[in-house]
């Protein structure tokens, strides 16, 4: 019997400030796309931004 597993992979990306980011955006890293699920508003978006993402 063969079993298949699918894991919900959640990752954090820290990027420089960028205007216009929403949860409708995605990140492509290492050939894999990640949906943005949350954007950290720490420091009013004017420094580093942390994106909470899930693998598509």
Report pLDDT for 45. Answer: 63
32 phi, psi to nearest 5 deg: -120, 135
pLDDT per residue of the chain (56 residues) written in tens, 0 to 9 = 677 776 778 999 999 888 889 999 999 999 999 999 999 877 676 788 999 999 98
* Partner residues linked to 1 by β-bridges: none
Report how far residue 22's alpha carbon sits from residue 28's, in angstroms, rounded to the nearest whole number. 15
Per-residue model confidence (pLDDT) at position 26: 95
pTM for the full predicted model: 0.77
pLDDT at 42: 73
């Amino acid at each position: 019997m063969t079993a298949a597993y699918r894991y919900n992979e959640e990752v954090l990306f820290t990027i420089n400030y960028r205007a216009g980011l929403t949860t409708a955006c995605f990140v492509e890293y290492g050939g894999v796309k990640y949906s943005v699920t949350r954007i950290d508003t720490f420091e009013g978006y004017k420094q580093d931004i942390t994106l909470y993402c899930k693998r598509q």
